[in-house]
């Protein structure tokens, strides 16, 4: 069955429940070479030599080896967050005297809990999961396969790929090694490992039913450009599987389970995973730089189809059509010699039969790295060495702040945390900081500020991060003006006195 983008009902595979309720809350979406980062610690980035010769080929239908290898390295993630909940409020006196008309609705902050999965990728506790599993979380807890519960910190997140990295402080953990998502074939057996419906360590089997799926997730926010080239499988994935492992029969990680095709919020035959080719690059960047370094060809592209072939008199029936070049910052592809009407058929020798595949392959590279772009130009194949640029048109590496930075202010009576990239996109801000663990009796809590409030300006001056907010307000006395974003997304201004 072909999935049309304008009729899709997709559910992010997460479990969400109120702290005071045990019922599941379905999250719906509707929508038309690697870094040696862990030189001293065994990890998925540096495959162990002892494993290389002992991994069995994996007989079709034989799942026990892969299940036994993957299960210990998949964790259960629980988060707590504060959200504004609208409730109907009644005044008994108004109702008694007939004045009330049924009361009114008021928004109140409420602690909620969410559940998902994660995959251990290093012995010292680095874990890959989905951004939407830890997004907006005030507290993250990881439950290991041996039932230990550990507090985790969010290292950094990438909303564009829906990937996040968190870490627990421990050692000698089991971890999965990275497989090759380019090598998997349609029809190949795979296992999905995760924690659906809070059922820990659940393994399901299926086949790869398609590769390079795109237009799966519609993410709000002008700064979020989805990078999608999903592996589609029919392995059963349900709410709570988000961030869990998709493995081949060798027990190698080939994807991170992210979304399901569903009209009800539960599995209906299709699930989608971010391929490990993207995961390992994004994870490496988040750990090393605090953000993702993206290389760009600087081309406007389109899918080659029969109509385009006839209209442009192309000499090839598949590939990615070059319709134009980026104007701002210059185009890396144009500088290397590509022309309009070229059809890109390979990147570094790997076929690009779709835009999704091209974007995936380029998305694995950083600014300054060179890729070999093979094009079909008037029936002839030509290779071009293209040095990728960043979105600003240069090859600089931009190091970002990790989102785990939290500052404790005893003076204010609160902890202040840096915003994640997804929070910046959600609130449409470039910087700022979020209040967490606010003491109601403290100086800032006494003024009515609550957990989750985002401070963007103090005395009409923009603030960029948690440390800056804490420094500006340290030992402050007198009148203060604070601007920010409330829990419900409303932009507000407050003026008050600190004593």
Give the residue numbers marked as catalytic: 132, 162, 242
CA pair distance 55, 13, nearest whole angstrom: 30
Structure tokens that stand for 50 in this block:
């002892």
Nearest in space to 78 (alpha carbons), one of 104, 113, 130: 113
Residue owning tokens 């034989």: 62
Question: DSSP 3-state helix, strand, coil percentages of the chain (rounded to 5)?
Answer: 15, 40, 45
Beta bridge partners of 497: 479
Q: What is the DSSP letter of 260?
A: E
Which spans in 329-379 are helix H?
332-336, 355-363
Instruction: Name the helix (H) or strand (E) containing 70.
Output: helix 64-70
Query: Half-sphere exposure of 397 toward its Cβ, with a 13 Å CA cutoff?
Result: 11
Instruction: Name the helix (H) or strand (E) containing 80.
Output: strand 74-89
Q: Are strands 414-418 and 406-409 parallel, antiparallel or unpaired?
A: antiparallel
Structure tokens that stand for 447 in this block:
């003024």
């Amino acid at each position: 069955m072909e999935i049309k983008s304008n009729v899709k009902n997709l559910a992010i595979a997460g479990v969400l429940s109120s702290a005071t309720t045990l019922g599941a809350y379905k999250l719906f979406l509707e929508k038309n070479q690697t870094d040696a980062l862990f030189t001293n610690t065994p990890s998925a980035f540096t495959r162990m030599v002892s494993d290389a010769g002992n991994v069995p080929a994996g007989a079709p239908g034989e799942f026990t080896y892969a299940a036994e290898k993957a299960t210990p390295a998949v964790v259960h993630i629980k988060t707590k967050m504060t959200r504004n909940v609208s409730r109907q409020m009644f005044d008994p006196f108004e109702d008694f005297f007939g004045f009330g008309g049924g009361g009114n609705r008021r928004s109140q902050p409420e602690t909620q809990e969410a559940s998902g999965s994660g995959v251990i990728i290093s012995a010292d506790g680095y874990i890959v999961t989905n951004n939407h599993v830890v997004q907006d979380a005030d507290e993250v807890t990881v439950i290991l396969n041996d039932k230990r519960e550990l507090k985790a910190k969010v290292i950094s997140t990438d909303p564009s790929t829906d990937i996040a990295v968190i870490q627990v402080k421990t050692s000698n953990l089991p971890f999965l090694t990275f497989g090759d998502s380019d090598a998997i074939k349609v029809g190949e057996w795979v296992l999905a490992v995760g924690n659906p419906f809070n059922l820990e360590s659940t393994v399901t089997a299926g086949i790869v039913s398609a590769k390079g799926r795109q237009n799966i997730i519609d993410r709000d926010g002008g700064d979020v450009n989805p990078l999608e080239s999903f592996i589609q499988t029919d392995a059963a994935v349900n709410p709570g599987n988000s961030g869990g492992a998709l493995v081949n029969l060798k027990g190698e990680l080939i994807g991170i389970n992210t979304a399901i095709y569903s009209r009800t919020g539960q599995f209906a035959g299709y699930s989608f995973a971010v391929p490990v080719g993207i995961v390992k690059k994004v994870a490496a960047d988040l750990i090393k730089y605090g953000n993702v370094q993206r290389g760009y060809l600087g081309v406007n592209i389109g899918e080659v189809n029969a109509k385009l072939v006839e209209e442009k008199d192309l000499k090839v029936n598949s590939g990615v059509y070059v319709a134009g070049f980026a104007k701002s910052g210059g185009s890396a592809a144009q500088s290397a010699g590509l022309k309009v009407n070229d059809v890109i058929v390979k990147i570094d020798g790997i076929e690009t039969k779709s835009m999704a595949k091209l974007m995936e392959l380029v998305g694995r590279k950083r600014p300054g790295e060179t890729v070999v772009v093979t094009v079909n130009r008037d029936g002839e194949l030509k290779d071009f060495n293209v040095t990728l640029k960043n979105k600003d048109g240069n090859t600089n590496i931009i190091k970002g702040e990790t989102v785990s930075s939290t500052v404790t202010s005893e003076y204010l009576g609160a902890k202040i945390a840096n915003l994640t990239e997804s929070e910046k996109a959600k609130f449409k801000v470039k910087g700022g900081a979020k209040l967490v663990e606010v003491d109601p009796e403290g100086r800032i809590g006494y003024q009515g500020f609550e957990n989750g409030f985002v401070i963007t300006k103090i005395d009409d001056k923009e603030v960029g991060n948690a440390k800056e907010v804490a420094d500006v307000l340290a030992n402050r006395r007198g009148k203060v003006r604070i601007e920010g974003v409330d829990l419900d997304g409303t932009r507000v201004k407050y003026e008050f006195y600190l004593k």
